[in-house]
Amino acid sequence: MTRDLRPRAASATVDIWVQPGASRQRVVGMYGDAVKVAVAAPAEKGAANRALEKLLAKEFGLAANAVVIAGGGSRRKRVSLQGVSPERLRAWVARWKTER
């Protein structure tokens, strides 16, 4: 058996609180220990999840398929960002902790 020795891209995970049906899409700030993100799409048939995926992909300069969302129909999501280092994600979250 041969081991795969190719380097793996960094990945990091963050908790997101989604506000579907907002008037505009944006990162709002913190909601408890999660980053609150408003999306214009309704919470129907995965539309809000797809909008969240696109917003985070744009925010981090990633392809949409590099954003993996777990949380189904819940407003609270656990999002994995493939290609984003934990350090970069921590800095991004810290930015929202200080902005109001």
Question: Domain coordinates of the chain in residue numbers?
Answer: 11-98
Q: Hey, how many other C-beta atoms are within 10 angstroms of the C-beta on 20?
A: 18
Residue 7 pLDDT: 56
End-to-end Cα, the chain, rounded Å: 53
Q: Kindly state the average pLDDT of the residues 20-49.
A: 95
pTM: 0.86
Task: For residue 76, give Cα distances in angstroms to 29, 36, 61, 91, 93.
Answer: 14, 9, 23, 21, 16
Q: Kindly state the average pLDDT of the residues 29-37.
A: 95
**Rounded Cα–Cα distance for residues 67 and 31 (Å):** 20
Task: For residue 91, give Cα distances in angstroms to 58, 80, 96.
Answer: 17, 16, 9
**Rounded Cα–Cα distance for residues 55 and 49 (Å):** 10
> Does position 19 have pLDDT exceeding 60, yes or no?
yes
Residue 6 pLDDT: 54
* Residue keyed to tokens 């048939």: 45
CATH architecture of 11-98: 2-Layer Sandwich (3.30)
Write the CB contacts of 68 (distance below 8 Å, at least 6 apart in sequence): 79, 80, 81, 82
